[in-house]
A and B are shown apart, each in its own frame.
Chain A
Amino acid sequence: MKGCYINGISNISAQPTTVSTTFLEEIVGHKEVIIRAFDPDYKTFIKPAAMRRMSKSVKMGVVASKMALEAADIVMPDAIITGTGMGCRQDSERFLENVLHNDEQFLTPTLFIQSTHNTVGGQIALGLGCKGYNVTYVQGAVSFETSVIDAQLLLTESPEQHILVGAIDEIAKNSTKLDILNGQLKQGECDWLTILSSGTSGTICSEGATFMVLGAEQSNKSLAQIKAVTTINDATLDESKTAIETFIAAQGIVPDDIDAVIFGNNGDQDFDDYFHNLQTSIFKNTEQLCYKHLIGEYHTASAFAFWIGCEVFKHNTIPEVLKVNEVKAKQYNKILLYNQYRSRNHSIVLLERC
């Protein structure tokens, strides 16, 4: 059957997801508001000479894309689509600071060249020699989901293709801290593992990369089918609930057919109501999972939920650390993902077991 299948997925995050073979059994608890990703051994994937010029985003993107392609057993994808909120934030920040501190003098091109949002997508294409379709989306918390929507379109247009879809966001030394100033991030230290009931404003932040290889045909590599993805730019509590009900109905199912829901709660008391509103109503009797207390918030954090979905299908179980209610599903065939950031950039996704 033609569809949109995840045939390989990889993830670099604030948890050791690249080195662990278990499904989130080893968990690192964090205390600082801004936490770097758990780095895999980049040099086993990238030659040292090439790595010297690479920013963190490029390193994470190149390695995560290689891991996903390897898992899917694909050497050359037909298209590369990347999503990123802030792009190559470190090099942009350094170039900007050089411009401002030195009154537009003594500048060199390297940082500027690597500052564009499509740097990671371009570098992956360059590394692979991939001359196919290549686009980068930068739409806040739906940067990854809009990339997936484009991939779905491509697979409808050209079902024989294999599409590499990825998400990358990195922390930068100074500009990430600005998000504390405007209240996006919490002040001072906090315990990540209990952050979902923090009762305070703002969230916690990290970085990471998630890559998938998508194809229209189911194969023995297929981990999950992406049945549907939708994004909404702006919605009230009621509008988001209605949108989810409409989305589910459009799939010809009812909420009770969903075995588990993965929510994007990030411990910000001002905006987690979008999730609580659903957790206590239509999904009251559905198994509920959260993950941002493990990997933090960033524009493409929601890509991690795709990885969780694939892992659940694979292991047929859900680690305690992800569970946020007492309900236990009988089986895991349909998993819904819902995310939003500060009342904007809502995404709804339905994953199905292959």
Chain B
Amino acid sequence: MNKGIAITGMGIISSIGNTVEENLNALQSETPGISRLEILKSRLHDSIMVGEIKKTNATLIEELGLPKINNFSRTAMVSAIAAKEALQDAGISDINQHTTGFISGTSVGGMDTTEKYYLEYQETAENHRYIEALHAGFTTECVTKYLGIKGYVSTISTACSSAANAIMLGARLIIAGKLDRVVVGGTDALSKFTINGFNTLMILSDEVCRPFDDNRKGLNLGEAAAYLVLESDALVAKEDKKVLGRVVGWANANDAYHQTASSSEGEGAYRAMNKALKVADLSPSQIEYINAHGTATSNNDLSEGTAMKRIFGTENMPVFSSTKAFTGHTLAAAGAVEAVYSVLGLQEQTVFPNLNFKTKMSEFDMKPQTEIVSKEMQTVLSNSFGFGGNCSTLIFSR
């Protein structure tokens, strides 16, 4: 197995908890965070279920200690909370003591503020400080300023695979010796723009989502931010850092089939998993758990399941589950949320369950893990797929 890159810190905020510890408790007690919309005002509040972080923007501003007049979108605020926790977890107090990068994935960046003030901009100058929030990278810049990171900063926007690509890039930059350490992950807040966009695609469920179930009705959107701190082995050794786990495999491929739908044979997903195994120098039989993308849309679960079958075979399918029924589909943050859950699973030697599953899909004989279970595990694989045919796979080890 490839030695990979050390993970020395993690941070997360999602609808099941405001810290890594709270998220772990919710996963272990099988407490999902799916509800009706309460914070975001939308016409769709009674017709969809979401994974919403039950904190108002005013509360988030207070918790971050931001000035009352600031230009942080909700996406930037949840990002700052999770990234700050990750740095603390890694025991980093002087951020620029070593070359530190920041790579964040986001789909719509500060759309939550844009949609609030867009129609007023011409009339009043009051909220002009939010105009720049329309640019997704601006979200990242607000957070880097807050954290004091000055060096390499980038934002990746490959829809729902953004954070997975951010983690992959961070690992590659460390291997290439371009950075000593890097904070990688993603963030997305719920917005009317996104909710209505997915609603027009008719892939939102009006009930709690049921990944890999034959009667699945679509996804629940969620909001979250999650980050990992990756450090070079030299730095880990020098500072005698605790290592939480390692990123050992990664790959990105394109389905090249349709702008939003996945191919029936799951070509992009197959290629991503296959290549990630090669990078990790592992055979499929060495994967002990799959944290699937499993959005609970008809298209994704069939396409992903087919790709998993092609890689592992029905007989040798590793234990798998989708944790989307806990958090909802947190879009650009999903890859990082599930990276945190993958590492927690390895640390706790526990498979977190695929909630709400009842009936096997008619297309194949595959059943996800539906109860929480202890399991000895060394390696887990996590998938993230997005619009534009973007498919990414990460592999983590203990």
The residue in chain A whose Cβ has the minimal distance to the Cβ of B106 is: A138
Q: Which among B56-64, B196-204, B341-349 touches the partner chain?
A: B196-204
A80 neighbours in B (Cβ, 8 Å): 254
Q: Which among B130-138, B305-313, B369-377 touches the partner chain?
A: B130-138
Q: Mark A91-122, 1 if CB is under 8 A from B, else 0.
A: 00001110110011101110011111111011
A135 at interface (Cβ–Cβ under 8 A)?
yes
Known contacts: A109-B200, A131-B271. The answer to whether A122 contacts B388 by CB under 8 A is yes
Q: How long is the Cα–Cα vector from A150 to B259 in the complex, in angstroms?
A: 23
CB distance from A185 to the nearest CB of B (A): 11
Q: Which among A227-235, A246-254, A268-276 touches the partner chain?
A: A227-235
A181 at interface (Cβ–Cβ under 8 A)?
yes
A337 at interface (Cβ–Cβ under 8 A)?
no
The residue in chain A whose Cβ has the minimal distance to the Cβ of B122 is: A181
Among B122, B149, B200, contact of A112 (Cβ-Cβ < 8 Å): B200
A123 at interface (Cβ–Cβ under 8 A)?
yes
Q: Is the CB of A140 within 8 A of B138?
A: yes
Among A118, A175, A233, contact of B386 (Cβ-Cβ < 8 Å): A118
Q: How long is the Cα–Cα vector from A108 to B201 in the complex, in angstroms?
A: 8
What number of B residues sit within 8 Å (CB to CB) of A? Answer: 69
B55 at interface (Cβ–Cβ under 8 A)?
no
- Which residues of B, 205-260, contact A by the 8 Å Cβ criterion? 252-260
Q: How long is the Cα–Cα vector from A232 to B102 in the complex, in angstroms?
A: 11
A149 neighbours in B (Cβ, 8 Å): 178
Extra contacts, 10 of them, besides A85-B135, A97-B118, A133-B252 (Cβ < 8 A), are A87-B136, A99-B192, A99-B193, A118-B157, A122-B387, A130-B256, A134-B389, A138-B156, A142-B154, A299-B135
B193 neighbours in A (Cβ, 8 Å): 95-96, 99
Q: Is the CB of A118 within 8 A of B390?
A: yes
B54 at interface (Cβ–Cβ under 8 A)?
no
Q: How long is the Cα–Cα vector from A245 to B258 in the complex, in angstroms?
A: 47
Q: Is the CB of B125 within 8 A of A96?
A: no
The residue in chain B whose Cβ has the minimal distance to the Cβ of A103 is: B43
CB distance from B272 to the nearest CB of A (A): 10
Q: Is the CB of A100 within 8 A of B154?
A: no
A123 neighbours in B (Cβ, 8 Å): 259, 388
B152 at interface (Cβ–Cβ under 8 A)?
yes
CB distance from A231 to the nearest CB of B (A): 6
A143 at interface (Cβ–Cβ under 8 A)?
yes
Q: How long is the Cα–Cα vector from A105 to B115 in the complex, in angstroms?
A: 15
Chain A-chain B contacts (Cβ-Cβ < 8 Å), number: 187
Q: Is the CB of B390 within 8 A of A138?
A: no
Q: Is the CB of A139 within 8 A of B125?
A: no
Q: Mark A21-58, 1 if CB is under 8 A from B, else 0.
A: 00000000000000000000000000000000000000
Q: How long is the Cα–Cα vector from A299 to B252 in the complex, in angstroms?
A: 25
Q: Is the CB of A104 within 8 A of B192?
A: yes
Q: How long is the Cα–Cα vector from A150 to B166 in the complex, in angstroms?
A: 11
Among A97, A153, A233, contact of B172 (Cβ-Cβ < 8 Å): A153
A304 at interface (Cβ–Cβ under 8 A)?
no
26 residue pairs from A and B, CB less than 8 Å apart: A97-B118, A105-B43, A107-B196, A112-B196, A112-B198, A112-B200, A113-B259, A116-B107, A116-B388, A122-B259, A122-B389, A125-B256, A125-B388, A131-B268, A133-B253, A134-B158, A134-B390, A135-B165, A137-B156, A139-B153, A153-B169, A181-B121, A181-B122, A182-B129, A182-B132, A344-B141
The residue in chain B whose Cβ has the minimal distance to the Cβ of A230 is: B152
Q: Is the CB of B158 within 8 A of A232?
A: no
Known contacts: A131-B268, A138-B137. The answer to whether A116 contacts B387 by CB under 8 A is yes
A157 at interface (Cβ–Cβ under 8 A)?
yes
Among B114, B125, B154, B176, contact of A156 (Cβ-Cβ < 8 Å): B176
Q: Mark A158-192, 1 if CB is under 8 A from B, else 0.
A: 00000000000000000100110110100000000
B136 neighbours in A (Cβ, 8 Å): 87, 117, 138
B102 neighbours in A (Cβ, 8 Å): 233
Q: How long is the Cα–Cα vector from A87 to B138 in the complex, in angstroms?
A: 13
B253 neighbours in A (Cβ, 8 Å): 131-134
Among A85, A131, A135, A157, contact of B156 (Cβ-Cβ < 8 Å): A135
Q: Is the CB of B252 within 8 A of A100?
A: no
B196 neighbours in A (Cβ, 8 Å): 99, 104, 107, 112
A104 neighbours in B (Cβ, 8 Å): 42-44, 192, 196
A136 at interface (Cβ–Cβ under 8 A)?
yes
The residue in chain B whose Cβ has the minimal distance to the Cβ of A147 is: B154
The residue in chain A whose Cβ has the minimal distance to the Cβ of B271 is: A131
Q: Is the CB of B135 within 8 A of A115?
A: no
Q: Is the CB of B115 within 8 A of A100?
A: yes
B145 neighbours in A (Cβ, 8 Å): 234
Among A87, A105, A109, A135, contact of B252 (Cβ-Cβ < 8 Å): A135
Q: Is the CB of B134 within 8 A of A122?
A: no
Among B114, B156, B178, B267, contact of A136 (Cβ-Cβ < 8 Å): B156
A86 at interface (Cβ–Cβ under 8 A)?
yes
Known contacts: A104-B42, A134-B158. The answer to whether A157 contacts B197 by CB under 8 A is no
